[in-house]
A and B are shown apart, each in its own frame.
Chain A
Amino acid sequence: MRRLAFAATLWLAACSLQMDLPPGFLRKRSEESGDLRAVTATGGRLRVRDFAVESHSTIGFWADAVRDEFAGRGYRLDDGHDVTDGAGRQGRAFRAQTVADGEPCGYFVAVFLMPGSWLPWSQDHVRVVEFTAATAEFDQIGAAVQAAVATLR
C-alpha cells in the first residue's frame, strides 16, 4: 500500500508543471490541476495551462489557431518565433500590445504540442504559456519570462 502511495505521489509530481520562475515572481497555489500561476508584486501575471486536444495535430496548426483567435478578437500579434521548452519540445510564441483594464499592457503567449502516449486513454495536449503586465514591466521582464519558458517541463 505504501509503495502504491509512493508511486502515485511520484506520478503526480511528474505530471505537475515545473518551471524555473523568473526573478520577482511568486508562484500561486492553483485550484486547478495542470495549471501554473505566478504573479509579480506589481501586477504581472503568468499562467501555464494544458488543454486536451484532438489527436494527430501539429504545432503549426495550433499556432495558426492561436493567431486566428487573437486576430478575430482584434489583437495584433507579431510574426511569432520558435521556442523550445525544457523537454526539448518545439513551440511557437507571439507577443502583442493591447489595452486591458484601461492600461496599456504587453502580452506574451507560447504554445507547445504534447502528443499523448501509447496508452488508449491518453490524449494529445496543447500547453499554453501566457504572460501579461503593464507595458513598462512587460518590456523589463518579458525577456526573462521567455527565457523561463525554456525551463518548462
Chain B
Amino acid sequence: MRRIPVLWTLALALLSAACATAGGGAQFDDFGERAPASLDDVTNGLQDSGTAAKVVRRSSDPDADEQPTQQQQQAADRMLVYRGSVAVEVARADDAAAAFLAKVAEWGGHLSSQRGPQYVVRVPAARFETAFQWVRAAGRVLDESREASDVTDQYLDVGIRLENARKSRERLLALLAKADKVEDMLKIEEQLRRLTEEIERMEGQQKLLADQVAMATLTATFRAVAAAGGPVQQRPSAFPWLRSLGADRLLGRW
C-alpha cells in the first residue's frame, strides 16, 4: 500500500516534465514568429535617407536553445532584394499595361522604365508577391522568374567599412588641426579628399542596397495575342449577336 503514493508521485513528476517540455517548444515557436529586429541601426539609417528598408526575418534554427543570443537573432534577420519577371499574353496589351500601372501606383510603387511592351516597375517589397500574381493572372503566362538575393552581409560589410572610414577621417582632421608644416597639411588634405570620396561612394552603395531591399523590381511584359498569332482582325461579324458576348460586355450595365 505504501508503494501507491510513491508511484503517484513518480507519475506526476513524469507528467509535469512532459508538460514542461511541450511548453518550452511552444515558447520557441512563438519566438520564431516574433523574432525582434536586430538591424535597427540599419533600418534607422535607411529611414534617414528617406527609404524604409524591409528586413525580412527568417525563423530561427529549431535546434537552438530556447533563449537565443543576440548573434543568433542577428543571423535570423535578413535583408532580401526581390526581383521578378513575368511575360503574359493578353487580349489587349495597352489596356492590361494601363491597368497594371494603375495598380502599381495604388500599391505605392512607380514605373521605372518602359521599352515597348516591357514595363519595369518598383513596388514596396511587401507588395512584390501581390504584383507578381496580378501580372500572372492578367493573361496566359509565357515566361516567369523571380529571385530573392540576400544582401545582409554586403550591407553590414559596407556599414563597417563606412564606420572605419569615418573614424579615420576624424583622426585625419585631428592631425590636420595639429599640423604646422604646409607640406604635412597638404598631404593630410589629400588623404582627406580621397577618404571623403570613399565615404560618399560607400554611403551611395549603402543607400542603393537599402532602396533595393525596400522596393522590389518587377518586369512585366504584356504581349498582345495578335503579336503571337497575326494581326487582330476587327472585321464586322456576319452574326451581330456575337458582338454582345464577352467579359467586358458581361460586366457592363445590367
* Interface residues of A, Cβ cutoff 8 Å to B: 28, 37, 39, 43, 45, 47, 49, 51, 53, 65-66, 69-76, 96-105, 107, 109, 128, 130-132, 135-136
Return chain B residues, CB-CB under 8 Å to A65. 238-239, 242
* Interface residues of B, Cβ cutoff 8 Å to A: 89-92, 95-96, 98-99, 102-103, 134, 137-140, 224-226, 229, 232-235, 237-239, 241-248, 250-251, 254
**CB <8 Å contact, B246 and A70:** yes
**CB <8 Å contact, A100 and B233:** no
Return chain B residues, CB-CB under 8 Å to A51. 239, 241
Bound-complex Cα distance A69 to B240 (A): 10
**CB <8 Å contact, A102 and B102:** yes
- How many Å from the CB of A62 to the closest CB on chain B? 9
Bound-complex Cα distance A117 to B182 (A): 112
**CB <8 Å contact, A104 and B137:** yes
**CB <8 Å contact, A71 and B254:** no
Interface of A is mostly: strand
* Known contacts A102-B98, A104-B134, A130-B245, A28 near B254 by CB under 8 Å: yes
**CB <8 Å contact, B241 and A132:** no
**CB <8 Å contact, B92 and A74:** yes
Return chain B residues, CB-CB under 8 Å to A103. 99
Return chain B residues, CB-CB under 8 Å to A71. 225, 229, 233
